[in-house]
Amino acid sequence: MPGWVRMPQFIHAALAALFLATGVGTLFLLGQVQTLRCQRAEGGVLVDCRLVNTWMKSTVLDDRPLPPLRRALVERGCDDDGCTYRVLLETDRSTLPLSDISTSDQSDQEGIARRINEYLDAPGDTPLEVETGGGLILIVPVMFLAAGIYLAVSAIRGLLNPSET
**pLDDT value at residue 13:** 85
Q: How far apart are CA 49 and CA 44, in angstroms?
A: 14
- Give 90-139 as a DSSP string: EESS-EEES-S--BS-HHHHHHHHHHHHHHHHS-SS--EEEEEE-SGGGH
Terminal Cα distance for the chain, rounded: 18
> Any bridge partners for residue 46, and if so which?
40
Q: How far is CA 128 from CA 39, 69, 94, 97, 124, in A?
A: 7, 13, 21, 17, 11
Q: How far apart are CA 54 and CA 32, in angstroms?
A: 6
- Give 12-52 as a DSSP string: HHHHHHHHHHHHHHHHHHHTEEEEEEEEE-TTS-EEEEEEE
- Residuewise pLDDT in 10s, the chain (165 residues): 444 445 577 787 888 999 999 999 998 888 889 999 998 877 767 668 999 999 888 899 999 999 989 999 999 999 999 999 999 999 988 999 999 888 899 999 999 999 999 998 887 778 999 998 877 778 989 999 999 998 888 888 877 776 655
Q: Where are the domains of the chain?
A: 1-31+135-160, 32-133
Measured in degrees and rounded to the nearest 5, phi and psi for residue 3 equal -65, -30
